[in-house]
Structure 1
C-alpha cells in the first residue's frame, strides 16, 4: 500500500497536484503511472475537502 503524506495547506497541495499531473504526462513506466495516479487521486480528495 502506498503511503502518502498529505500537506495541510492549500498552496502546497496545489503544487503537489500540479507536479503529479506533469509527472503523469511524462511517465514511461506503468508502475510510475500507477503510483502517481494513486497519489494524485488522494491529494485531489484532500484538496476538495479543505
Structure 2
C-alpha cells in the first residue's frame, strides 16, 4: 500500500478491515497513553 492510498483509507475512517489507534508521546520519548501493554493487545491478525 503506498502512502497516498493509506492516507485515503485513514480519511475514510474505520471500517470492518481498518481500526485506527492513537498514541501520545512525551518529549523524552515515553508514551503517555495508551499503556504499551494495552496497545500491544490491540494488534492482532
| TM-score above 0.5 | no
Which structure is higher in strand share? 2
Which structure is higher in helix share? 1
- Say which structure, 1 or 2, has more relative contact order (CA 8 Å, 6+ apart): 1
TM-score between both structures, scaled by the size of structure 1: 0.29
Larger Rg: 2
TM-score between both structures, scaled by the size of structure 2: 0.32
